[in-house]
Chain A
Amino acid sequence: MLLEALRLALSTVFRNKLRSFLTVLGIVIGVASVIAMVTVGQGSTAQVQSDVASLGSNLLMIRPGAPGRGPGGGSNDAAPLTLADMQALLRYVPDIVAATPSSSRSQTVVFGEMNHTVQVTGTDDAYFGIRGWTLGFGRIFSDGEMRIGTPVCILGTTTSAALIGEGNPVGTTIRVGKISCEVIGLLAKREASTFGQDDNDIIVMPLKAFQRRISGNKNVQSISVTFRDGVRAEDVTVQIQSLMRERRKLTGDQSDDFNVFDMKQISSVLTGITGVLTGLLSAVAAISLLVGGIGIMNIMLVSVTERTREIGIRMAVGATESQVLMQFLVEAIVLSLIGGILGIFLGLGLGALGSYALNIGFLPDYRIVVASFIFSAVVGVVFGYFPARRAARLDPIEALRHQ
């Protein structure tokens, strides 16, 4: 009997193709937007997590400026950091195992006819280990180059490809801002992109060369440190803060004019924000599912009225109330499931497109697909029940008389 109801529902749905399509459009849009939102949301969450993982573990970052400005806090009037600060951290905070200074500035770089704007970072050799970089070709800086500030540079793969093309750039000379710079290494390609920026678009050079030839000062914009395993980031942060307060001659009631960021903590905040946004957008999308359900109910009510006579005939030949109810309920469920399935495909398609456009991984979640499918069926049951019950409760005599 259920099979007959299903067969009947399918033939009814496919007989009125346009009407059925318009009826399920609400569900299609609802399911598609939920799936697209969640897919893109999860992709970006995974992205944030892998970005943070790529930053290395046990990583803290010290920057000048009052706390609460975030890692990109930029210009402020606090005294800059220096190399001496970094050396003091290494000496007086025993939990710190490595430290690296870095200063960056956006520069136009030129090779032959090609030019490209890229973030140029001055740092030392510890940078690669702390930031989790490995070399694809070439070598890192020599002690001599570090000490003298020789203009040599190591390129990210994206930068290299933009300037020189595919292949090994080691040995070529490029112009960075106003200086000529010999390429001595190529970083291995990293899949991560820090919060939407391509990590592989980067030029690294010795800090001294950067200070002398590009920034023109002795400042260090940030110091990254890694601390021993088994030590809590909070404890190391406290030690760093007390040392830095001393070095910066801050007295008891003065607040910090520098910032210690725990990259893990930032990532959890970002992940949280992504999650909340995904949730909110999905909730908005879920409302369109509700609207879609109302659309189905509306059409089912119209259908019951149109088919009153048919219902009367079925009752005359012996259909029970529950059989008539079942017929219309199955039809509503078939409609909403068709909408759900179309929505799933559309949503996955949009999700793939969105992931591609945002340059994040495409991470379809089978659970949300299954949930959408079940939810569509539930919409069919909930919004199909009322029209179906109306059909089932019809008086057969009245129904047969209906024109």
Chain B
Amino acid sequence: MTAAAAPMLELRHLSKIYGVDEAKVYALDDVNLTVQKGEFIAVMGPSGSGKSSAMNILGCLDTPTSGQYLLFGTDVTGLDRDQRALLRRYFLGFIFQGFNLLARTTALENVELPLIYQGIPADERRERSMDALTKVGLQGRADHRPSELSGGQQQRVAIARAIVTKPGLILADEPTGNLDSARGREIMELLVQLNREEGLSVLMVTHEPDMADYANRIVTFVDGKIQSDKVRDRHAA
């Protein structure tokens, strides 16, 4: 990474306000944040601190009230719904606390889903999805439906779905929140491995310090503002 390159992601004086007049609530209050490619960031903070609002805006699911959001040096603040959908399709991958897999389709079909929207032909789709499932260690479970998989396995399918498009950034919202700590650590180790080996950038919301330990930078939100932003040595994986 060269110093001249634009940061992967940059928030400038970003605010998100809900309600009007006296009922105004600042979910985000003048937030400035820069993320470089390849970082693994944990976003922490108590509930209501604005970390979810920040994730929604970073994930192009929501728009800020004021301020700027630059993705790869391009201002994406004023984009409409369809343009934001295209950004999600080509540059972002999501991992959720509740896995959010399509219940009635197989693991493989779940992983294929983003590629369908990219218009990738069926053969290539299948091949790339199998690759992604192999990377998360589920090559033998391709034909299983989510209900036939354990929670940890379901989250791996979700990770495969997030990485199958080779996105610039993975946004993970409490990815270990529905798992026991052993499964949670496995998921974190997988994310760390993908971060190291594939150069995948990860931005993860968590309230568990144990999980945040896997990140090489921890950003803490309080009352809609960034309270601390620490670059640190990664927990020995």
User: A residues near B, CB below 8 A?
Assistant: 1, 4, 15, 309-310, 312-323, 396-397, 400
Contacts and interface: CB of A to CB of B under 8 A. Distances in A.
A318 B96 contact: no
A323 B81 contact: no
B100 A309 contact: yes
A312 B85 CA distance: 11
A317 B94 contact: yes
The bracket for how many chain B residues form the interface is 20 to 34
A24 to B, nearest CB: 21
Contact of A318 (B62, B89, B102, B104): B89
B90 A318 contact: yes
28 contacts: A4-B116, A309-B100, A314-B113, A314-B117, A316-B59, A316-B61, A317-B89, A317-B94, A317-B117, A318-B85, A318-B86, A318-B89, A318-B90, A318-B117, A318-B118, A319-B89, A320-B81, A320-B85, A320-B86, A321-B81, A321-B82, A321-B85, A323-B117, A396-B61, A397-B61, A397-B62, A400-B96, A400-B100
A330 to B, nearest CB: 14
Given A315-B85, A317-B161, A310 B102 contact: yes
Nearest to A392: B81
A319 B100 contact: no
Contacts of B118: 318
B237 to A, nearest CB: 28
Interface of B: 56, 59, 61-62, 81-82, 85-86, 88-90, 94, 96, 100-102, 104, 113-114, 116-119, 161
B114 A317 contact: yes
A321 B86 CA distance: 11
A39 B82 CA distance: 49
Given A310-B102, A315-B61, 13 more contacts: A313-B100, A315-B85, A316-B88, A317-B89, A319-B85, A319-B89, A320-B81, A320-B82, A320-B86, A322-B82, A397-B56, A397-B62, A400-B61
Contacts of A318: 85-86, 88-90, 114, 117-118
- Nearest 5 A/B pairs, CB to CB: A318-B89, A317-B114, A320-B85, A320-B82, A318-B117
Nearest to A3: B122
A313 B113 CA distance: 9
Contacts of A313: 100-102, 113
A13 to B, nearest CB: 13
B119 A317 contact: no
A309 B161 CA distance: 16
Nearest to A396: B61
B117 A319 contact: yes
Contacts of A323: 117
Contacts of B85: 315, 318-321
B220 to A, nearest CB: 23
A304 B88 CA distance: 22
Contacts of A309: 100
Contacts of B86: 318, 320
Instruction: Tell which of A4, A310, A322, A396 has the most Cβ of chain B within 10 Å.
Output: A396
Contacts of B61: 315-316, 396-397, 400
Nearest to B80: A321
Instruction: Tell which of A312, A317, A322, A400 has the most Cβ of chain B within 10 Å.
Output: A317
A322 B116 CA distance: 14
A394 to B, nearest CB: 11
Contacts of A316: 59, 61, 88, 94, 100
A39 to B, nearest CB: 41
Contacts of A317: 88-89, 94, 113-114, 117, 161
A388 to B, nearest CB: 16
A310 B98 CA distance: 13
Nearest to B161: A317
B108 to A, nearest CB: 15
A312 B116 CA distance: 16
A210 B114 CA distance: 90
A310 B110 CA distance: 11
Contacts of B119: 1
A15 B116 CA distance: 21
Contacts of B101: 313
Given A4-B116, A317-B161, A15 B104 contact: yes
A313 B162 CA distance: 11
A70 B161 CA distance: 80
A60 B94 CA distance: 86
Contacts of B102: 310, 313
Nearest to A322: B82
Contacts of B104: 15
Nearest to B104: A15
Nearest to A316: B94
A41 B101 CA distance: 54
A321 B81 CA distance: 8
A168 B156 CA distance: 88
Contacts of B56: 397
A322 B82 CA distance: 8
Instruction: Tell which of A309, A312, A316, A318 has the most Cβ of chain B within 10 Å.
Output: A318
A322 B83 CA distance: 12
Nearest to A5: B116
